[in-house]
Structure 1
Amino acid sequence: MWPFNKTEIRAAAPTEERISSSDPYLGQFLGARWQGSADIAQASGLAVAHRCISLVSESLASVPLKLYKDNAEGGAEPATEHPLYGVLMDETAPGVSAFDGREWLARSILTNGDSFHKIVRNGRGQVTALMPMLPSDVDVERLKSGRLRYRWNNPIGSSAVLLDHEVLHVRYQSLDGIRGRSPIQIAAQTFGLAVSQQSQAGAQAENSFRPAGALVFSEKLPAQNKESVMERFRQRFVGAAKAGDVMVLDGGATFQQFQFSSKDAEFLESRKLSALDICRVYGVPPTAAGILDFGTYANTEQEGRSLVTRCLSPWAKRVEAAMNISLLSPDARKAGYYVRHDLSELLRGDLKSQYEAYRVGRDGGWLSANDIRSLLDMSKIDGGDTYLEPLNMARAGEDRSGA
């Protein structure tokens, strides 16, 4: 990874001699293996890849992302008076909703490996807007001081040179600490194979995958007779409106229907395997991506929780860590400010399970009626701040008989 020196990595690796050639037949003769490559636009357009990217980005954008501040009681409360709170929850940039801005941020990381936002601050140094920048329009370089410098080639305005404190940069698995790596480029062979399979399936679909069958004659027909026979056959039997007609063949002709071969079945299974591999790249459970071949009611519910804990939570922590460093000053972090996603909404389950959990918290004494009503976006009630105490629980050794 990027903290290590590249020269040290190269020195540790064994040296080898290579001969480059663009001749595929020569490479095949020498035993070269197929090296898959995938264009990001094509690969992200695959149905399963698009679903995985949309699922992760939309899920992260749909949950609350709030600015919190530690309080004196040891808890934390939303810092609603801070300008950054509105940027994360309401409007990321002028005319850009928080949902659209955060979805774009996550989608950019999932496809390109980088997400860039220009940070706009007020006179007090507080963040008031995050202007999105396309990864293709940004060049990053490391200065001698160790800081990063960003050159933004703004397509709709003048270019700008920004330093690292002026840019929110979220990376995915960076090797040098400068640019992140696209998951599509990391798993280029997986996506390249899936794209190739889709292209092959498309080419077969243009020819309806295969002819339905063949008319076989006992003797060779002249060329002109061949065309006339096929034309009469199409007019008489081909088409949905002509299904069920009686076919009468003469002149020694027989009709042989083509069967679905094992090779075709293997191709379909190979496409299914490629779809599962793409789900593995993004850490998305297959049932969440719409692959229900092995889905049941029990494992679908379990995989829904796995999506949150094993997939969405690491992505959320990656975004939070970058935001805490770039959007909050060291003094603000020392004062107890921090950014955090609230993924609890995705783990609540159905309404019955939620109410059962609230009942346990209410009877256990750590939730009041108003605490529960606030979670349900309901107004407070009089006397709702009272916490119950179970009668059958007491401190060890404490006499509660009243004697």
Structure 2
Amino acid sequence: MKLFNFEIRRSEKRASPEDPRVPVSAENFLSYFGVQSGNLPAVTIDSALQVPAVAAAVSFVSASLANLPLHAYRSKEAGAERIKGGIQRLLNESPNPEWTSFGWRKYFWQQVFTGGRGLSWIERVGGNVVGIWPMDPGFTTVQRVDGKKVYKFGGKTYPAADVIDLPFMLRRNQLGVYGPIMLASKAIQLALAMNDYASGFFAGGGVPPLALVGPMPAGVEAVKRAQGDIKRAIDAAKSNSEPVFPIPAGYELKPVGFDPAKGQMTEARQFQVVEIARVYSLPPVFLQDLTHGTFSNTEQQDLHLVKHLIAQWASAFEDEINLKVFGQKSGGRYAEHNLDALMRGDFKSRIDALARGVQTALYTPDEARALDNRPPVKGGDVAYMQGATVPLGTVPVTTAPADKSGDNGDDNEPGTTGDDEPA
């Protein structure tokens, strides 16, 4: 371009982070400075489980939910009655000939807390439920056919009414799911990167990358020989467990990069435990993080676990069982977890609670004994109440002690005095 016979050249413009056309995301920003996101470890379910905090969270929550007794009941006017027979056996003992109830439900919950979805199909014969079988969510396709949800697995198509489906978090299309590992992929990626750094650092004997400082010998081959001499000296010191190795006069070794203490990697790794616990809504104490744990707040975290995590997921599973196994017209039948099982580890608290339940007529002695699989006793089917408990506004009835002094010589009738006046 010429202006007043002077040639003006447009200045060359290079992309920069300030350019609005350049996306400032983590990957693009790092690549602008030459850092490729491909250098960071990929996050999959298998790689995520290599992070101890993730493995502990998945194992703890899935086993805790699978450990809860699951019973079937039928509503009656006199109260709920436990159903005996097929449904009870499938839910609480063995859903099919290959799986125990604990194993089936633990596998189910592991899929929920890794990939984000637990699936099982219901086997029916003539309208009766005869088995419940786990499905691999990774090989299951969920889609809508004629407006209705269907599941394709193992070459078969199952209607939604025959599939127990519990997502961690549904997507907007109501078909796909968000899993906790995907939602926490960046935090898990950072944890994996720190694991790789730490393993590489300590695999090298705890020696960070070093730079040899001093007058360099002339020639490329001479530099390589000097570098080899230093490396052999370091290797010899490590193999012989010697803390000191010689350096040629006029040279010194300087570390390149940060060691774990200066890089505060310990604090960062502790923070990753809290981040992963946050994704699962799990108190950090259950991931063995007692950094800020005290006697009082640890006890409160235990209550938080039952009220805000276990109870909510147990309720979601119960609703899915009730809808898919018993149908919309359940006939008063329903399944329910027994959360009292969470107290089985605390013997004293459990015994105190059962004793209080018996003393307040909440349980009969036989009902309390049955919770610990103890046999009934004679008279144990009667509800008892402590004698000091009476309705308000009433006067306790007392019996006067009998007169043991014998005959006093009076012929008075009972209830009268010697003057024939009413007592």
Distance 1:251 1:27 in 2: 39
Distance 1:190 1:20 in 2: 22
Change (3 A) 1:190 1:148: same
Q: What does residue 389 of structure 2 align with?
A: 393
How far the C-alpha of 1:379 sits from its partner, in A, is 0.7
Q: What does residue 7 of structure 1 align with?
A: none
Change (3 A) 1:250 1:351: closer
Alignment TM-score, normalising by the size of structure 2: 0.75
3-state DSSP of counterpart to 1:299: helix
1:117 corresponds to 2:98:
no
1:77 corresponds to 2:81:
yes
Matches within 5 A, 1:328-339: 328-331=326-329, 333=330, 335-339=331-335
Q: What does residue 276 of structure 1 align with?
A: 274
Distance 1:26 1:279 in 2: 29
1:290 corresponds to 2:278:
no
3-state DSSP of counterpart to 1:100: helix
Range with bigger deviation, 57-66 or 258-267:
258-267
Distance 2:24 2:133 in 1: 45
Say if 1:215 and 1:253, in contact at 8 Å, map to a contact too: no
Distance 2:263 2:166 in 1: 42
How far the C-alpha of 1:55 sits from its partner, in A, is 0.6
How far the C-alpha of 1:384 sits from its partner, in A, is 2.0
Gaps of 5+ in 1: 1-16
Q: How many percent of aligned residue pairs carry the same amino acid?
A: 23
1:48 corresponds to 2:53:
yes
Distance 1:359 1:69 in 2: 27
Distance 2:214 2:125 in 1: 85
Amino acid of the structure 2 residue aligned with 1:41: D
Higher RCO (CA-CA < 8 Å; seq separation 6+): 1
Q: Deviations over 1:158-208 (max 9, x none)?
A: x11221122222222213322332122233333333333333334434434
Say if 1:213 and 1:255, in contact at 8 Å, map to a contact too: no
Distance 2:367 2:335 in 1: 22
How far the C-alpha of 1:369 sits from its partner, in A, is 2.3
Distance 1:210 1:91 in 2: 55
Say if 1:217 and 1:252, in contact at 8 Å, map to a contact too: no
How far the C-alpha of 1:26 sits from its partner, in A, is 7.1
Q: What does residue 360 of structure 1 align with?
A: 356
Q: What does residue 150 of structure 1 align with?
A: 151
Distance 2:73 2:325 in 1: 13
How far the C-alpha of 1:386 sits from its partner, in A, is 3.0
Distance 1:167 1:25 in 2: 42
Answer with 1 or 2: which has the greater Rg.
2
Q: Deviations over 1:264-290 (max 9, x none)?
A: 442332222122111010011111111
Q: Deviations over 1:351-397 (max 9, x none)?
A: 22222222322322333322221122111111222333222221122
Say if 2:208 and 2:258, in contact at 8 Å, map to a contact too: no
Q: What does residue 416 of structure 2 align with?
A: none
Matches within 5 A, 1:63-102: 63-74=68-79, 76-81=80-85, 83-102=86-105
3-state DSSP of counterpart to 1:201: helix
Larger helix fraction of residues: 1
Q: What does residue 39 of structure 1 align with?
A: 44
Q: What does residue 66 of structure 2 align with?
A: 61
Distance 2:196 2:397 in 1: 80
2:298 pairs with 300, 306, 329, which one?
300
How far the C-alpha of 1:225 sits from its partner, in A, is 6.5
Distance 1:200 1:295 in 2: 28
Q: How many pairs does the alignment contain?
A: 371
Alignment TM-score, normalising by the size of structure 1: 0.78
How far the C-alpha of 1:326 sits from its partner, in A, is 0.8
Change (3 A) 1:356 1:69: same
Q: Deviations over 1:197-255 (max 9, x none)?
A: 333334434434424999988997966576457646654x434x7568xx696975898
1:345 corresponds to 2:346:
no
Q: Deviations over 1:50-83 (max 9, x none)?
A: 1101111111111101111123312x232122x2
Say if 1:150 and 1:161, in contact at 8 Å, map to a contact too: yes
Distance 1:217 1:27 in 2: 33
Say if 2:205 and 2:238, in contact at 8 Å, map to a contact too: no
Amino acid of the structure 2 residue aligned with 1:71: K
Matches within 5 A, 1:373-392: 373-392=369-388
How far the C-alpha of 1:341 sits from its partner, in A, is 1.2
Gaps of 5+ in 2: 1-19, 400-423
Distance 1:170 1:189 in 2: 25
Change (3 A) 1:229 1:329: closer
2:133 pairs with 109, 131, 134, which one?
131
Change (3 A) 1:190 1:217: closer
Q: What does residue 181 of structure 2 align with?
A: 184
Change (3 A) 1:208 1:317: farther
How far the C-alpha of 1:296 sits from its partner, in A, is 3.0
How far the C-alpha of 1:324 sits from its partner, in A, is 0.9
Distance 1:121 1:249 in 2: 79
Change (3 A) 1:255 1:160: same
Q: Deviations over 1:282-304 (max 9, x none)?
A: 01111111112222333333322
3-state DSSP of counterpart to 1:161: strand
Change (3 A) 1:283 1:253: same
